[in-house]
Amino acid sequence: MVKFIFYFFIIMVASIYFGYPLILSILSFFMKAQKKAGNGMPSLTLIIPAYNEEEVIRQKIENSLSLDYPKDKFEVLLVSDKSSDRTDSIARGYLDKGLKLICQEERKGKIAALNLAVIKAQGEILVFTDANSMYERDALKKLARNFSDEKIGCVCGELKYELKDDTSIEKGQDLYWRYEKLIKARESFFHALLVTNGSIYAMRSKLYEPVDEDLADDFVNPMRIAKKGYGIIYEAKAFAVEKISSSAAEQFKQKSRIVSQGWKATFRLWNVIFTSGPLRVFEFLFHKFLRWLMFLFMTIIFVSNLFLLSSGVVYQILFVLQSLFYFFALIGLLLQIKGCKIKLFYFPFYFCVINASSLKALFIVLKGEETRVWEKAESTR
């Protein structure tokens, strides 16, 4: 029985990280190429939620107003979530240059800010971004051209991370993000991208429904859009740039909040998720749900391996390999604290950080902790 448990969860882990993208690749081989993007330029509203972003807001506003898109079809709407710093005063300096500003009278969080902004938005297409994400000049055109296909409801752009201090946590996230881009490209082939990135994604305004304030818009919106029968794709040539946080504690906190919102959304939207077709359910289970439980699978594999040490040299070798992996993760943590940079320890450290954050996220949900508000973004300067 112990051997069955041990191998079952090893196969599960392998299926999640390797089998899932492999199956998508095999399926895509038998599919016809999808219709290419057109050259349409629908009216757009770029929505920027902000809370105490005085360090980056000027750069973000200037970046947004300078984007290459017809000015008569483009508006920039900034929503300040009752910022207590100079965010609002800096933004007011751009009102005569085309910026539109909404100030929430009480702090309600990012999603409340987005819900309010959508009501005021004039564009056929809503583009969502973050205050610390800087768009390349043609990003909006690259996003917008995909909406020439009436079957497309949502388009996710490409978030590029700029390494700031070249630390273990930054390198680890960079490697992990490359893997995620591979999966996005595979899912997009079927017009079935599972989730988007809150830093750069666009959707048809007619498809937007108010999102619960303690959930994540870039998780909920794609789920609802897919349920309505519209395609969701990945536009790899529409770029936004952010700096990766060099703090392991900040990464842990951020990932915990994101995954906890994912758990909450799963409980509330299960009927949407599990009635959106076999492919969508398959993507959700292997790209998100089972990955959120990875900390449990890893624990079961390690503990069951302990009981199998006397069963042969193979189990002893596997136990040593697991122990080395976690030892390397520990060294990665120590190097992070000391500011040292050794590539060998980047991935084990980051892998353990993100899976530990999933465990924390489950506790957040079970304890009913608040996930509605967010802190200011890290500066990109």
- Average pLDDT of the chain to the nearest whole number: 88
| pLDDT tens for each residue of 123-159 | 999 999 999 999 999 999 999 999 999 999 999 999 8
Residue 269 lies in a domain: no
Segment 308-317 long-range contacts (CB within 8 Å, at least 24 positions apart) = 308/2, 308/3, 308/6, 311/3
Residue with tokens 């304890």: 367
Residue 114 lies in a domain: yes
Q: What's the pTM?
A: 0.87
Chain-centroid distance, C-alpha 365:
19
| pLDDT tens for each residue of 219-260 | 999 999 999 999 999 999 999 998 766 566 777 777 888 888
Decide the pairing of beta strands 99-103 and 74-80: parallel
Q: Using alpha carbons, select from 248, 254, 142 the residue that is nearest to residue 200.
A: 142
Edge-to-edge order in the sheet of strand 74-80: 99-103, 74-80, 44-50, 125-129, 200-204, 152-162, 231-243, 134-135
% the chain with pLDDT above 70:
89
Residue 258 lies in a domain: no
Residue 306 lies in a domain: no
Look up the CATH number of the domain holding residue 66.
3.90.550.10
Instruction: For residue 28, count other CB atoms closer than 10 A to its CB.
Output: 16
Residue range(s) defining the domain that contains residue 86: 44-170+186-248
Q: How many residues does the chain have?
A: 381
| pLDDT tens for each residue of 43-63 | 999 999 999 999 999 999 999
Residue 51 lies in a domain: yes
Residue 126 lies in a domain: yes
Opening angle at CA 260, ends 258 and 264, nearest 5: 115
% the chain with pLDDT above 90:
63
169: pLDDT strictly greater than 60: no
381: pLDDT strictly greater than 50: no
Name the helix (H) or strand (E) containing 329.
helix 313-338
Least-confidence region, from 153-167, 198-212, 271-285, 303-317? 153-167
Residue 205 lies in a domain: yes
Give dist(CA 155, CA 363) in Å, integer. 32
Which carries the bigger pLDDT value, residue 344 or residue 308?
A: 308
Residue 347 lies in a domain: no
Q: How many domains does the chain have?
A: 1
